[in-house]
Amino acid sequence: MIFGALLADVVRHRRLEDWPKKQKVLLEIAERISERFGDSLEFPVEMSGGDRLVVLLNRPEDINRLLLAFEEELFVREADIKLRWGAGVGSLNLMDSPHTTTGEALYRAQSALEYAHRERRSFAFSLGNADTDRLLTLLKNTAHGIRERWTSRQKELRRAIIELRERGSEISQVKLASHLGMSQPAVSKMMKAMLFEEQELLEREIDVRLKSITL
């Protein structure tokens, strides 16, 4: 069986103001993600050493969905916490907890995280094929980089999209315009300026690649 492993470090956590409060927020997000992705996880998301997250998945095709969920939770809460992620897939020797579990997926996730630290990337993948790893790492960091450059007004649009998704509502430019008090053409123009469709396509391509590799 193929498992997925994600390891995340908080970037420069010692320099963050009010780190204990931010740590509490991160734990709350981990709990929320654990509930949302319970069927995909071997264990609830755990924190190790005070600033590292450990995530083990029995459905590794959900790796990117989980990464996006963490990003959106941090964004919505305006948490001012940056995470650096390493993702790996492979076998696992499952034990009583993530901290006693060992195996290929974890070793690869650790290797990917070390690469992300060296290269100062937000994400890195180690899935067993160097070309695929480079491609997914490029796609993910490019999509994330687009979102990081959005203006405060563009981020309001992102927040509206997340809120509509959480309600299970269909997302359309008309609904977004109404939600934000804008015209539909203005929303369309903003989404083009945001490269919104492009970053969505990049994320979907990652999902497709993960599914083809892990199923």
Q: Could you state, in order of their start, the residue ranges of all structural domains in the chain?
A: 3-128, 152-193
Q: What φ, ψ does residue 143 adopt, rounded to 5°?
A: -60, -45
Best CA proximity match to 96, nearest among 27, 39, 43: 43
pLDDT tens digits, one per residue of 187-208: 999 999 999 999 999 999 999 9
Residue 14 scores a pLDDT above 80: no
Least confident of 7-11, 173-177, 193-197: 173-177
Whole-Å CA distances, 106 to 43, 88, 99, 167, 212: 14, 6, 10, 35, 20
As a whole number, mean pLDDT of residues 36-60 equals 94
CA distance 167 to 97: 33
Instruction: Tell me the mean pLDDT in the region 41-66.
Output: 95
CATH class name, domain 3-128: alpha beta
Q: What count of residues does the chain have?
A: 215
The CA R_g of the chain, rounded to the nearest whole Å, is 18
For 95-106, what is each residue's pLDDT tens digit? 999 989 999 999
Contact (CB, 8 A) for 79 and 22: yes
pTM, entire model: 0.94
Mean pLDDT of 134-163: 96
Q: Which of 58, 206, 57 minimizes the C-alpha distance to 125?
A: 206
Nearest to 141 by CA among 116, 158, 114, 118: 116
pLDDT given for residue 120 in this prediction: 96
pLDDT at 179 over 90: no
Q: Which amino acid would we find at residue 169?
A: S
